[in-house]
Amino acid sequence: MNRGRLVPCIAIAWAVFVTTALAQIPAKTNLPSAYQKWLDEDVVYIITPEERTQYLQLSTEKDRNQFIVQFWENRNPVPGTPENTFKEEHYRRIAYSNVHFADSRPGWETDRGRVYIVYGPPNEIKDVAPLPYRAQIWRYDSGQEFRFVDACECGRYELARPKF
């Protein structure tokens, strides 16, 4: 891919990522803790704003449980089957992020964890020598690219804003 086409891909990926992240900022609610955790941790990066609004309007455990079942069924690659590979992969990505990307925060809360959970394993990871900081560049076959910088040199890689 030539460099001229790569910059727009990075810009689009960044815009989608930031928009998604901002839309998912947890709101304080009076949900029981298990339901709040599901909303703010388990599905925070994949629930749509409309689904989030709908979920927050539910008032009973029965309705919330039905919503959660339907939420995963809507993403099931083979609807109606007991095995849901999307759900299994989603929770596998969270677990992987918690093991591999944790810093002072759980891995799922980090920028690398968020990208990993949403986009999956990158097709290529390039470690960049200090210029002026350590960095990692994650590339995906789709053309998306994410650059993470460890500015504190403490292992806390933050998503770098692309240059336009």
DSSP string, 14-36: HHHHHHHHHHTPPPP----HHHH
Q: Is residue 20 part of a domain?
A: yes
> Model's pTM, two decimal places?
0.79
Q: Is residue 30 part of a domain?
A: yes
Q: How many other CB atoms are there within 10 angstroms of residue 101's CB atom?
A: 24
Q: Is residue 120 part of a domain?
A: yes
Per residue in 121-150, pLDDT (tens digit) is 999 999 987 778 889 999 999 999 999 999
Per residue in 17-47, pLDDT (tens digit) is 555 554 454 455 688 999 999 999 999 999 9
**Percent of all residues in the chain with a pLDDT value above 90, rounded to a whole number:** 71
**CB-based contacts of 127, cutoff 8 Å, min separation 6:** 134, 135, 136
Per residue in 85-118, pLDDT (tens digit) is 999 999 999 999 999 999 999 999 999 999 999 9
Q: Is residue 71 part of a domain?
A: yes
Q: Is residue 126 part of a domain?
A: yes
What the block records as the tokens of 73 is 């069924």
Q: Angle at CA 150, nearest 5°, toward 148 and 153?
A: 165
How many structural domains does the chain have?
A: 1
Report the amino acid identity of residue 49: P
Q: What is the C-alpha separation between 47 and 25, in angstroms, rounded?
A: 11
Per residue in 72-86, pLDDT (tens digit) is 999 999 999 999 999
Q: Is residue 164 part of a domain?
A: no
User: What is the structure's pLDDT at 164?
Assistant: 36
Q: How far are the Cα atoms of 10, 13, 40 from residue 131, in angstroms, in the given order?
A: 20, 23, 36
Domain that holds residue 121: 3-159
* Residues 49-72, mean pLDDT to the nearest whole number: 97
User: What is the structure's pLDDT at 29?
Assistant: 60
